[in-house]
Amino acid sequence: MTTHRKPAQLELSLVRGDSRTWRFDIKLDGSPLDVSAGSISFVADNGRGDTITVTGSVGGAGNNEVTFSFTPTETAVPLDDYDYDIQQVVGADRYTYVEGVLHITQDVNLT
């Protein structure tokens, strides 16, 4: 599979310690892009050793809908801005579809 496209840029925000589910529709030139091969994951890193990694589940009629479900444990990371990407790995090949900054903000009920 060759896409030759720049990843979409998207700024995201999560409240520290919260549960969250996000669904992304992966498309190429407006048409659903089948991402069912291999694995697809959301990886965020603040550059100081703190990371969030969630494996996505693929569905939808065109196998282009990717859902990431974050648990409170996964989001209980230090407050910071994290660079992230959504990447599919098929064998030795990697395809990045979305990238940006994930802001982890304080939950007033979480110490």
Alpha carbons within 13 angstroms on the beta-carbon side of residue 46 total: 14
Measured CA to CA, the distance from residue 80 to residue 43 in angstroms comes to 15
* Domains within the chain, CATH numbers bracketed: 13-105 (2.60.40.10)
Sheet holding 57-59, edge to edge: 20-25, 65-70, 57-59
Residues 6 or more apart whose CB falls under 8 angstroms from that of 34 comprise 62, 63, 64
- The pTM (predicted TM-score) of the whole model is 0.90
Q: Predicted confidence band at 6 (pLDDT cuts at 50, 70, 90)?
A: confident
Residues 6 or more apart whose CB falls under 8 angstroms from that of 55 comprise 39, 40, 41, 68
User: Model confidence over 44-71: pLDDT tens digits?
Assistant: 999 999 999 999 999 999 999 999 999 9
User: Model confidence over 25-39: pLDDT tens digits?
Assistant: 999 888 999 999 999
Q: Which two tokens stand for residue 109?
A: 């009920």
pLDDT at residue 3 tops 60: no
